[in-house]
Amino acid sequence: MYLFGAGIFGLGTPELIIIAVILLVLFGPKQIPKLGRMFGSTMKEVKSGIDEATKELQSEGDADASNAGCTACGAELAPGAAFCNSCGAEQVAAIAAGCISCGAELAPGAAFCNECGAQQEKKADA
Binding site for Zn ion (CB under 5 A): 70, 72-73, 75, 84, 86-87, 89, 99, 101-102, 104, 113, 115-116, 118
CB of 80 closer than 8 Å to CB of 74: no
Nearest CB to Zn ion, comparing residues 27 and 112: 112
CB atoms within 10 A of CB 100: 14
Nearest CB to Zn ion, comparing residues 11 and 89: 89
For the CB of residue 83, give the shortest distance to Zn ion in the complex, in Å: 8
For the CB of residue 63, give the shortest distance to Zn ion in the complex, in Å: 21
Burial string for 101-117 (b: 16+ CB within 10 Å, else e) reads: eeeeebeeeeeebeeee
